[in-house]
Amino acid sequence: MSKLWSSSIGKKLVMSLSGLFLIVFLLVHLAANLFYYGGPEAYNAMCAFMDTNPFIKIMVPVLALGFVIHIAWATVITLKNQTARPVKYKVQDLGKSSTWESRNMYVLGIIILGMLAWHLTHFWAEMQLQHFIGGEATDSPYELLVQTFANPVIAVLYIIWVIALWFHLRHGFWSAFQTIGLDNQIWIRRWQCAARVYAFIVAAGFISIPVSVLLIRCFGK
């Protein structure tokens, strides 16, 4: 068991399982955020539900652990790959056998990490964290969201971050199934297709919110 844990297959397995866990989380997170389209009452009610639901309270530390494990293993695997392959392949040779996103998973991950840090300090700290520590949470999460994305600089940075997530998922989704071993000729094509659909839905869903806020700000409802 400890051999599997320390082997490269074991490390990849940890990456795939933690990645798949984060993939499920992203869908739930997107579904929650789409309540924005229901207006202030619907969005605030969803946030209140998240703040008080015991299952969500248990899942918050589990989710944090999922991120920590994924990032720690990503760093170990990337450093190992770098030292194992100090001489870089010629760009044209690499391009033929792999996609741009598959060669830049760590860089994309670092950009995602930036979004995560901002997200935590800006939204999560003002909404959920206050309930955990008995502080004063924002009265209206909806207002916080709208005011945040009404700033075009923040909205554009956010969109760039989500695009990095999009590329990470386009590769990560099917790669995870390949790691698990569900990668015969037929299934790998299906996973690749599902990866494109999933990554598009997640990216389009998250991007649509700041775009909607900006459009309403410019042109009204």
Listed in sequence order, the residues at least 6 apart from 126 whose beta carbon sits closer than 8 Å to its beta carbon are: 137, 138, 141, 144
Q: Give the span between the Cα atoms of 107 and 161, in whole angstroms.
A: 12
Q: Give the span between the Cα atoms of 196 and 32, in whole angstroms.
A: 22
Q: Which is nearer to ligand HEM, 20 or 48 (CB)?
A: 20
Do 178 and 144 contact (CB within 8 A), yes or no?
Answer: no
What is the sign, positive or negative, of the torsion defined by CA atoms of 120, 68, 173, 46? negative
Residue from 42, 60, 69, 110 binding ligand HEM (CB under 6 A): 110
Per rule CB under 6 A, is residue 172 in the interface with ligand HEM? Answer: yes
Per rule CB under 6 A, is residue 119 in the interface with ligand HEM? Answer: no
Residue from 103, 106, 125, 201 binding ligand HEM (CB under 6 A): 106
Rounded to a whole number of angstroms, the minimum distance from the CB of residue 220 to ligand HEM is: 34
Q: Give the span between the Cα atoms of 20 and 96, in whole angstroms.
A: 27
Rounded to a whole number of angstroms, the minimum distance from the CB of residue 114 to ligand HEM is: 9
Q: Which is nearer to ligand HEM, 172 or 210 (CB)?
A: 172
Rounded to a whole number of angstroms, the minimum distance from the CB of residue 49 to ligand HEM is: 22
Interacting span for ligand HEM (CB under 6 A) from 39-47, 90-98, 136-144, 170-178: 170-178
Q: Which is nearer to ligand HEM, 78 or 212 (CB)?
A: 78
Do 206 and 26 contact (CB within 8 A), yes or no?
Answer: no
Per rule CB under 6 A, is residue 66 in the interface with ligand HEM? Answer: no
Task: Give the footprint of ligand HEM on residues 15-54 (CB under 6 A).
Answer: 15-16, 19-20, 22-23, 26
Do 127 and 47 contact (CB within 8 A), yes or no?
Answer: yes
Q: Which is nearer to ligand HEM, 48 or 188 (CB)?
A: 188
Per rule CB under 6 A, is residue 105 in the interface with ligand HEM? Answer: yes
Please give the residue ranges that form the binding site for ligand HEM (CB under 6 A).
12, 15-16, 19-20, 22-23, 26, 70-71, 74, 77-78, 105-106, 109-110, 112-113, 168, 172-173, 175-176, 179
